[in-house]
Amino acid sequence: MSGDAVIVCKGVGKRYGRKWIVRDIDLEVRAGELLGLIGPGGHGKSVLLRLLAGLATPDEGEVRVRGKNLADIDPFELAELRREYGYLFQNYALFDFMSVADNVAFPLRQAGGVEEPEIARRVKERLEQLGLGEALDRFPSELSGGMKKRVGMARATIGEPAIVLYDDPSAGLDPVTSSKIFRLVRTMHHSQDDVASVVVSHDIDRMKVICDRYVMIFEGKVLFDGPEEAIEGADPMVGKFFFGSLGQSSGAS
Amino acid sequence: MNGALKSLASSVGGAVLAIAETIGGAVTLLFRILRALFPPRYDAEGVWRSFYNVGVKSYPIVVMTALFVGAIMVIQTAFYVKKTGATGIIGYGVGFSVFAEIGPILIGLMFSGRVGANNTAELGTMVVTEQVDALRALAIDPLPYLVVPRFLAMLGMLTLLMVLGDLFAIVGAALTAQLLVGFHWRVLVADLLQSRLLDEFTMGLVKAACFGISISCISCYFGLAVRGGATGVGRAVNNSVVSNATAIFVIDFVVGYLYSL
Ligand SMILES: Nc1ncnc2c1ncn2[C@@H]1O[C@H](COP(=O)(O)OP(=O)(O)OP(=O)(O)O)[C@@H](O)[C@H]1O
Ligand SMILES: [Mg+2]
């Protein structure tokens, strides 16, 4: 199922001020693998995801992507690697000076090599697939949170990236749309060979359907790393989080 | 006493550090911009968009400021002209202060308040809403994509607008002379044109160009350095406006001094 390691973290730590947000993270993301990143809110999942994409630099340890240490390579190599990435931000990060269609088309236009009519066709198709066919010409400020998330989803996946990082793809979405989104995550994952995907989510029931392996982040550390079957033998916290109601929302427990 | 002295010393020290940090940040940014210009690697379409945005945002206030600057200078100069009877000085008096001093300073300040503040807010918002990170995640360097077009637009537009401002200042001066001071506008304009104010005119343009550079670097620096959400953006805009105004006075002084040598 899974092949070579695409992203490798060794002893990675990141702090803001004096406080270590994540520390001693050893983690591999392998080609062809769909990795689920779980853990309670505020324990460092988004920070870790930013480290995996090189959007934040570790204060300790190293992040290697395809064997290259992100901290050592020159800007051109870094740009080269980043072209392989798709990234869905937890807070959408849509370009507010562009229409929805331009937002989604942006990665394709920047990468070049695709004709404008073909871009328009693909953008329309992807947005329709996500139920946003009507929103093409609107601006991000005119959309609801869930709609923005879906536009972010379309932008992250339009270039068919080889490494895709999703930060909470179903947050703020109704159950039907959530299922659609997770289906898209899976479709993207299998659209080519050896795609490496990481999904951060609290929607554990839907993750169970698509993820090959789970990493649980607790208080900035890796508490668990393995497939669902291995959870029984792990720290009881993991089982409680994974099978209990803790995963859905902290307020409900 | 000792405590008060200490806190005074530490706040002065803090202010000096903050100034040094701003200058350092803005100058570093300027060098990075220049490196991105030669050889050119920036978004050409973005440059046009920036020119348009900057121009549309700022030309009304520049025109208005210029009209008033011309008007005020005529009234001031007319006061002395009437007192001394030296009618020959009115064109020179108006032209000199409008082209070389008051015009550039006031237009620079208005431009910085309009375009510079707006630019800091825009970039700052992009930072806190992770739009800048989204660009980086797509392998786009924010410098050539966001900063260089703004730099070129502010440099080019402010210089152009200074020419426009000079024209409107003359219009304002002529109107005021005619309508309020009782001085025929043709005499004023003829006098002004005969005063050989080319040096003053170019000095104004040099100042405008320098203001354009400083306003773009300072406002982009503060915008990209924003931390901490919406309040951070507010703080950055505030710092940007104050630093820009200070820089305008310093540049005005330095350029004026160099011309006087
Ligand atoms: N830029 C920052 N500056 C300071 N602290 C930060 C910053 N970004 C994140 N943190 C802190 O890092 C911790 C982890 O945040 P992170 O966003 O990774 O949580 P998370 O696991 O993604 O939570 P959620 O499930 O709610 O999205 C939090 O305590 C947060 O306060
Ligand atoms: Mg998060």
| Alpha carbon distance B194, B164 (integer Å) | 20
A46, A70, A73, A94: which to substitute to probe chain B, counting the most B Cβ within 10 Å?
A94
Calculate the alpha carbon distances from A233 to A208, A236, A239, B69 in Å: 18, 8, 9, 80
Ligand 2 center to residue B252 CA distance, Å?
48
**A80/B contact by beta carbon, under 8 A:** yes
Ligand 1 first shell, C-beta below 6 A:
A 16, 21, 39, 41-47, 90
- For residue range B43-66, list pLDDT tens digits in order: 788 899 999 999 999 999 999 999
**Nearest by Cα to B155 from B110, B109, B205, B202:** B205
How confident is the model at residue B1, as a pLDDT? 61
Size of interface A-B (CB pairs under 8 A): 43
More confident residue, B88 or B64: B64
How confident is the model at residue A111, as a pLDDT? 87
Q: Model pTM?
A: 0.90
Rounded average pLDDT over B127-136 = 96
Residue whose tokens read 């929607």: A203
Q: Do B138 and A55 touch (CB under 8 A)?
A: no
Closest-CA distance, B202 to chain A, in angstroms, reads: 37
**Nearest by Cα to A66 from A33, A34, A28, A36:** A28
DSSP string covering B7-68: HHHHHHHHHHHHHHHHHHHHHHHHHHHHHHHTTT-S-HHHHHHHHHHHHHHHHHHHHHHHHH
Nearest to B138 among A78, A91, A106 (CB): A106
| Tens of pLDDT, residue by residue, chain A (253 residues) | 557 899 999 999 999 999 999 999 999 999 999 999 999 999 999 999 999 999 999 999 999 999 999 999 998 899 899 999 999 999 999 999 999 999 999 999 998 889 999 999 999 999 999 999 999 999 999 999 889 999 999 999 999 999 999 999 998 889 999 999 999 999 999 988 999 999 999 999 999 999 999 999 999 999 999 999 999 889 999 999 998 754 444 443 3
Length of chain B equals 261
| Alpha carbon distance A36, A182 (integer Å) | 12
Ion ligand 2 — residues with CB < 5 Å: A 46, 90
Nearest 10 degrees: Cα torsion A52, A54, A59, A64: 60
| Alpha carbon distance B126, A37 (integer Å) | 27
**Nearest by Cα to B218 from B11, B41, B19, B56:** B19
Question: Counting atoms of ligand 1 from 1, which one is nearest the CA of A39?
Answer: 21
Length of chain A equals 253
| Alpha carbon distance B167, B180 (integer Å) | 20
- For residue range B136-167, list pLDDT tens digits in order: 999 999 999 999 999 999 999 999 999 999 99
How confident is the model at residue B91, as a pLDDT? 82
Q: Which residues of A touch B134 (CB under 8 A)?
A: 87, 89, 93-95
For residue A224 the two structure tokens come to 């668990």
- Dump strand ranges (E) for chain B: none
- For residue range B1-38, list pLDDT tens digits in order: 678 888 888 888 888 998 999 999 999 999 999 998 98
Residue % of chain B over a pLDDT of 70: 100
**A73/B contact by beta carbon, under 8 A:** no
Specify the amino acid at residue B228: G
| Alpha carbon distance A103, A97 (integer Å) | 9
| Alpha carbon distance B188, A235 (integer Å) | 90
φ, ψ of residue A163 to 5 degrees: the values are: -125, 115
| Alpha carbon distance A210, A182 (integer Å) | 8
What ipTM was reported for this prediction?
0.90
Q: Do B130 and A93 touch (CB under 8 A)?
A: yes
Handedness of CA B223, B228, B230, B232 (dihedral sign): negative
B41, B130, B138, B140: which to substitute to probe chain A, counting the most A Cβ within 10 Å?
B138
* All structural domains of chain A: 1-84+164-253 (3.40.50.300), 94-160 (no CATH)
Rounded average pLDDT over B104-128 = 96
In chain B, residues 136-195 whose CB comes closer than 8 Å to chain A: 136-141
Q: Are A243 and A224 in contact (CB under 8 A)?
A: no
Residue whose tokens read 């879906």: A150
Specify the amino acid at residue A155: R
Ligand 2 center to residue A230 CA distance, Å?
25
Strand order, beta sheet including A34-38: A85-88, A163-167, A196-200, A34-38, A213-218, A221-226
How confident is the model at residue A252, as a pLDDT? 38
For A104, other C-beta atoms within 10 Å of its C-beta total 28
Q: Starting from the CA of residue A50, give the closest ligand.
A: 1
